[in-house]
Chains A and B, each alone.
Chain A
Amino acid sequence: MMFKGRRLSAGFIAVAGCCALALSGCQQILPYIIQHPPKFDPTTVADLGAAQRDADALFATLSSPASCSYSANTAQFNLVDSDLAALVTQANSLPNNSFSTNGARALQKGFDRFRAAAQAKDPACLPPGLAQDKKTSFDGAAGNLLTYENAKPKGQ
Protein backbone atom coordinates (compact mmCIF):
# COMPACT_ATOMS: atom_id res chain seq x y z
CA MET A 1 0.00 0.00 0.00
CA MET A 2 2.72 2.41 1.01
CA PHE A 3 4.77 1.51 -2.03
CA LYS A 4 1.79 2.04 -4.28
CA GLY A 5 1.09 5.44 -2.72
CA ARG A 6 4.69 6.45 -3.16
CA ARG A 7 4.62 5.42 -6.82
CA LEU A 8 1.41 7.27 -7.43
CA SER A 9 2.77 10.37 -5.74
CA ALA A 10 5.99 10.27 -7.71
CA GLY A 11 4.10 9.62 -10.90
CA PHE A 12 1.84 12.59 -10.23
CA ILE A 13 4.86 14.81 -9.72
CA ALA A 14 6.35 13.59 -12.96
CA VAL A 15 3.13 14.13 -14.90
CA ALA A 16 2.69 17.62 -13.57
CA GLY A 17 6.33 18.41 -14.16
CA CYS A 18 6.08 17.30 -17.75
CA CYS A 19 2.97 19.32 -18.42
CA ALA A 20 4.24 22.34 -16.52
CA LEU A 21 7.39 22.35 -18.55
CA ALA A 22 5.26 22.46 -21.66
CA LEU A 23 7.79 20.50 -23.64
CA SER A 24 6.90 19.57 -27.15
CA GLY A 25 6.48 15.86 -27.48
CA CYS A 26 5.39 15.63 -23.88
CA GLN A 27 2.60 13.24 -24.68
CA GLN A 28 5.01 10.74 -26.17
CA ILE A 29 7.30 10.56 -23.14
CA LEU A 30 4.62 10.86 -20.48
CA PRO A 31 4.05 7.13 -20.03
CA TYR A 32 7.79 6.58 -19.68
CA ILE A 33 8.10 9.25 -16.99
CA ILE A 34 5.19 7.83 -15.04
CA GLN A 35 6.92 4.46 -14.96
CA HIS A 36 10.31 5.98 -14.17
CA PRO A 37 9.97 8.87 -11.71
CA PRO A 38 13.18 10.52 -10.46
CA LYS A 39 14.83 8.62 -7.64
CA PHE A 40 16.70 9.88 -4.61
CA ASP A 41 20.34 10.45 -5.51
CA PRO A 42 22.88 10.72 -2.68
CA THR A 43 25.48 12.30 -4.99
CA THR A 44 23.15 15.19 -5.76
CA VAL A 45 22.55 15.70 -2.05
CA ALA A 46 26.30 15.62 -1.34
CA ASP A 47 26.97 18.13 -4.14
CA LEU A 48 24.27 20.40 -2.80
CA GLY A 49 25.68 20.15 0.71
CA ALA A 50 29.14 21.13 -0.52
CA ALA A 51 27.74 24.12 -2.41
CA GLN A 52 25.77 25.30 0.59
CA ARG A 53 28.73 24.90 2.98
CA ASP A 54 31.17 26.74 0.70
CA ALA A 55 28.66 29.46 -0.16
CA ASP A 56 27.88 30.10 3.49
CA ALA A 57 31.59 30.48 4.22
CA LEU A 58 31.84 32.96 1.35
CA PHE A 59 28.83 35.00 2.47
CA ALA A 60 30.24 35.17 6.00
CA THR A 61 33.52 36.54 4.67
CA LEU A 62 31.78 39.04 2.41
CA SER A 63 29.89 40.36 5.43
CA SER A 64 33.14 41.05 7.30
CA PRO A 65 34.59 44.54 6.68
CA ALA A 66 38.15 43.22 6.90
CA SER A 67 37.90 40.80 3.98
CA CYS A 68 34.82 41.63 1.96
CA SER A 69 36.29 42.54 -1.43
CA TYR A 70 35.84 40.35 -4.47
CA SER A 71 39.59 40.03 -5.04
CA ALA A 72 40.10 38.79 -1.47
CA ASN A 73 37.58 36.03 -2.10
CA THR A 74 38.20 34.96 -5.68
CA ALA A 75 39.25 31.44 -4.66
CA GLN A 76 36.08 30.95 -2.63
CA PHE A 77 33.93 32.27 -5.49
CA ASN A 78 35.66 29.75 -7.75
CA LEU A 79 35.02 26.98 -5.26
CA VAL A 80 31.29 27.71 -5.09
CA ASP A 81 31.18 27.97 -8.88
CA SER A 82 32.77 24.54 -9.10
CA ASP A 83 30.35 23.09 -6.55
CA LEU A 84 27.34 24.43 -8.43
CA ALA A 85 28.66 23.20 -11.78
CA ALA A 86 29.06 19.72 -10.30
CA LEU A 87 25.54 19.90 -8.89
CA VAL A 88 24.01 20.89 -12.22
CA THR A 89 25.98 18.24 -14.10
CA GLN A 90 24.95 15.52 -11.66
CA ALA A 91 21.28 16.53 -11.67
CA ASN A 92 21.24 16.72 -15.45
CA SER A 93 22.79 13.26 -15.75
CA LEU A 94 19.76 11.59 -14.16
CA PRO A 95 16.63 10.67 -16.13
CA ASN A 96 13.36 12.56 -15.69
CA ASN A 97 15.04 15.01 -13.35
CA SER A 98 14.03 18.36 -14.80
CA PHE A 99 12.85 19.98 -11.58
CA SER A 100 16.17 19.29 -9.86
CA THR A 101 18.17 20.29 -12.92
CA ASN A 102 16.30 23.54 -13.47
CA GLY A 103 16.30 24.38 -9.78
CA ALA A 104 20.07 23.86 -9.64
CA ARG A 105 20.58 25.88 -12.82
CA ALA A 106 18.62 28.82 -11.40
CA LEU A 107 20.71 28.65 -8.23
CA GLN A 108 23.88 28.63 -10.33
CA LYS A 109 22.72 31.52 -12.52
CA GLY A 110 21.74 33.56 -9.49
CA PHE A 111 25.17 33.02 -7.98
CA ASP A 112 26.85 34.03 -11.24
CA ARG A 113 25.02 37.36 -11.24
CA PHE A 114 25.87 37.95 -7.60
CA ARG A 115 29.49 37.27 -8.46
CA ALA A 116 29.31 39.74 -11.34
CA ALA A 117 28.02 42.44 -9.00
CA ALA A 118 30.77 41.76 -6.44
CA GLN A 119 33.41 41.78 -9.16
CA ALA A 120 32.15 45.08 -10.56
CA LYS A 121 32.41 46.58 -7.08
CA ASP A 122 36.00 45.48 -6.54
CA PRO A 123 38.20 46.70 -4.84
CA ALA A 124 35.28 48.10 -2.82
CA CYS A 125 32.82 45.75 -1.15
CA LEU A 126 29.15 45.10 -1.68
CA PRO A 127 27.11 46.43 1.24
CA PRO A 128 27.19 43.74 3.96
CA GLY A 129 23.40 43.78 4.18
CA LEU A 130 23.21 42.60 0.57
CA ALA A 131 25.64 39.74 1.25
CA GLN A 132 23.32 38.71 4.06
CA ASP A 133 20.30 38.99 1.77
CA LYS A 134 22.08 36.77 -0.75
CA LYS A 135 22.88 34.24 1.95
CA THR A 136 19.20 34.17 2.93
CA SER A 137 17.94 33.69 -0.62
CA PHE A 138 20.67 31.19 -1.54
CA ASP A 139 20.09 29.15 1.61
CA GLY A 140 16.34 29.25 1.02
CA ALA A 141 16.68 27.99 -2.54
CA ALA A 142 19.24 25.33 -1.59
CA GLY A 143 17.06 24.26 1.33
CA ASN A 144 14.05 23.86 -0.93
CA LEU A 145 16.10 21.81 -3.38
CA LEU A 146 17.33 19.59 -0.54
CA THR A 147 13.77 19.09 0.71
CA TYR A 148 12.74 18.10 -2.81
CA GLU A 149 15.65 15.68 -3.16
CA ASN A 150 14.88 14.06 0.18
CA ALA A 151 11.24 13.63 -0.81
CA LYS A 152 12.16 11.48 -3.82
CA PRO A 153 11.56 7.76 -3.54
CA LYS A 154 14.57 5.84 -2.30
CA GLY A 155 15.82 2.46 -3.43
CA GLN A 156 14.91 0.58 -6.59
Chain B
Amino acid sequence: MPVNVNAVAAQVLAAMQGKVSGLTGAQATALETAAGVLAKSLADIEAYHLAGSLTDAEAADLVTSATDDALSSLITTAGMAALDLKGAVVAGLMTLVQIALSASGLGWAGPVIQTVITAFSQTGS
Protein backbone atom coordinates (compact mmCIF):
# COMPACT_ATOMS: atom_id res chain seq x y z
CA MET B 1 0.00 0.00 0.00
CA PRO B 2 1.56 3.34 -0.97
CA VAL B 3 2.06 5.75 1.89
CA ASN B 4 0.23 9.06 1.71
CA VAL B 5 2.98 11.32 3.00
CA ASN B 6 0.78 14.38 3.36
CA ALA B 7 -1.84 12.49 5.34
CA VAL B 8 0.78 10.98 7.63
CA ALA B 9 2.46 14.34 8.22
CA ALA B 10 -0.88 15.98 8.96
CA GLN B 11 -1.78 13.33 11.54
CA VAL B 12 1.62 13.51 13.23
CA LEU B 13 1.46 17.29 13.34
CA ALA B 14 -2.07 17.27 14.74
CA ALA B 15 -1.00 14.86 17.48
CA MET B 16 1.96 17.03 18.45
CA GLN B 17 0.03 20.29 18.31
CA GLY B 18 -2.52 18.86 20.69
CA LYS B 19 0.25 18.68 23.29
CA VAL B 20 1.77 22.11 22.84
CA SER B 21 0.71 25.68 23.29
CA GLY B 22 2.02 29.14 22.68
CA LEU B 23 3.76 28.41 19.42
CA THR B 24 4.85 31.30 17.25
CA GLY B 25 4.34 31.02 13.52
CA ALA B 26 8.00 30.12 12.99
CA GLN B 27 7.91 27.43 15.67
CA ALA B 28 4.72 25.91 14.26
CA THR B 29 6.37 25.89 10.85
CA ALA B 30 9.43 24.16 12.29
CA LEU B 31 7.20 21.51 13.85
CA GLU B 32 5.26 21.04 10.63
CA THR B 33 8.44 20.79 8.59
CA ALA B 34 9.95 18.18 10.92
CA ALA B 35 6.79 16.08 10.72
CA GLY B 36 6.69 16.36 6.93
CA VAL B 37 10.37 15.48 6.52
CA LEU B 38 9.99 12.47 8.80
CA ALA B 39 6.90 11.23 6.96
CA LYS B 40 8.56 11.61 3.56
CA SER B 41 11.71 9.85 4.75
CA LEU B 42 9.63 6.98 6.10
CA ALA B 43 7.67 6.68 2.85
CA ASP B 44 10.82 6.72 0.72
CA ILE B 45 12.56 4.16 2.92
CA GLU B 46 9.52 1.92 2.68
CA ALA B 47 9.42 2.28 -1.11
CA TYR B 48 13.06 1.21 -1.44
CA HIS B 49 12.51 -1.53 1.12
CA LEU B 50 9.55 -2.91 -0.83
CA ALA B 51 11.57 -2.73 -4.04
CA GLY B 52 14.30 -4.86 -2.45
CA SER B 53 16.92 -2.10 -2.46
CA LEU B 54 17.20 -2.17 1.35
CA THR B 55 17.42 -5.04 3.78
CA ASP B 56 15.26 -5.03 6.91
CA ALA B 57 18.26 -4.00 9.01
CA GLU B 58 19.27 -1.19 6.66
CA ALA B 59 15.71 0.12 6.54
CA ALA B 60 15.48 -0.03 10.33
CA ASP B 61 18.72 1.95 10.68
CA LEU B 62 17.44 4.58 8.27
CA VAL B 63 14.07 4.86 10.02
CA THR B 64 15.86 5.33 13.33
CA SER B 65 18.18 7.90 11.76
CA ALA B 66 15.27 9.93 10.36
CA THR B 67 13.40 9.69 13.66
CA ASP B 68 16.43 10.92 15.60
CA ASP B 69 16.75 13.92 13.29
CA ALA B 70 13.09 14.71 13.90
CA LEU B 71 13.70 14.37 17.64
CA SER B 72 16.58 16.81 17.42
CA SER B 73 14.37 19.33 15.61
CA LEU B 74 11.58 18.90 18.12
CA ILE B 75 13.89 19.23 21.13
CA THR B 76 15.32 22.54 19.97
CA THR B 77 11.91 23.80 18.90
CA ALA B 78 10.72 22.85 22.34
CA GLY B 79 13.58 24.82 23.84
CA MET B 80 12.37 27.91 22.01
CA ALA B 81 8.70 27.40 22.61
CA ALA B 82 8.85 26.09 26.18
CA LEU B 83 6.75 23.12 25.20
CA ASP B 84 5.85 20.06 27.15
CA LEU B 85 8.65 18.34 25.32
CA LYS B 86 8.05 14.73 26.08
CA GLY B 87 4.31 14.94 25.63
CA ALA B 88 4.61 16.50 22.20
CA VAL B 89 7.36 14.25 20.91
CA VAL B 90 5.88 11.04 22.23
CA ALA B 91 2.41 11.95 20.94
CA GLY B 92 3.79 12.58 17.47
CA LEU B 93 5.84 9.42 17.41
CA MET B 94 3.05 7.30 18.84
CA THR B 95 0.86 8.52 16.01
CA LEU B 96 3.54 7.43 13.59
CA VAL B 97 3.58 4.00 15.20
CA GLN B 98 -0.19 3.73 14.91
CA ILE B 99 -0.02 4.72 11.26
CA ALA B 100 2.79 2.27 10.67
CA LEU B 101 0.92 -0.57 12.31
CA SER B 102 -2.31 0.12 10.44
CA ALA B 103 -0.71 0.53 7.00
CA SER B 104 0.26 -2.79 5.49
CA GLY B 105 3.36 -1.38 3.84
CA LEU B 106 4.68 0.19 7.02
CA GLY B 107 3.86 -2.40 9.61
CA TRP B 108 7.48 -3.40 10.02
CA ALA B 109 8.44 0.18 10.99
CA GLY B 110 6.17 0.29 14.05
CA PRO B 111 8.44 -1.66 16.42
CA VAL B 112 11.48 0.30 15.18
CA ILE B 113 9.88 3.63 16.00
CA GLN B 114 8.59 2.22 19.28
CA THR B 115 12.19 1.39 20.19
CA VAL B 116 13.16 5.04 19.64
CA ILE B 117 10.25 6.19 21.79
CA THR B 118 11.20 3.81 24.58
CA ALA B 119 14.85 4.91 24.52
CA PHE B 120 13.78 8.54 24.46
CA SER B 121 11.39 8.05 27.36
CA GLN B 122 14.05 6.33 29.43
CA THR B 123 16.66 9.05 28.96
CA GLY B 124 14.46 11.64 30.58
CA SER B 125 15.33 14.01 27.77
Chain A positions near chain B (C-beta within 8 angstroms): 12-13, 15-17, 19-23, 98-100, 102-107, 109-114, 116-117, 120-121, 126-127, 129-130, 133-134, 136-138, 140-141, 144-145, 147-148, 151
Contact = CB atoms under 8 A, between A and B. Distances in A.
Nearest to A152: B79
- Secondary structure call for the B interface: helix
Contacts of A20: 78, 83-87
B61 A22 contact: no
A21 B124 contact: yes
Interface size class of B (residues with CB under 8 A): 35 or more
A95 to B, nearest CB: 15
B68 A106 contact: yes
A100 B79 contact: yes
Given A99-B79, A129-B44, A141 B73 contact: yes
A16 B41 contact: no
Contacts of A106: 68-69, 71-72, 75
Contacts of A105: 125
B84 to A, nearest CB: 6
Contact of A16 (B26, B40, B70, B82): B82
A110 B78 contact: no
Nearest to A23: B124
B61 A147 contact: no
A57 B76 CA distance: 24
Contact of A120 (B55, B65, B66, B70): B55
Given A117-B61, A130-B44, A133-B66, 5 more contacts: A20-B85, A110-B71, A111-B65, A130-B62, A141-B73
A109 to B, nearest CB: 5
B125 A21 contact: yes
B69 A110 contact: yes
Nearest to B30: A144
A145 B76 contact: yes
B65 A114 contact: yes
B17 interface: no
A103 B82 contact: no
Contacts of A114: 61-62, 65
Contacts of B55: 120
Contacts of B109: none
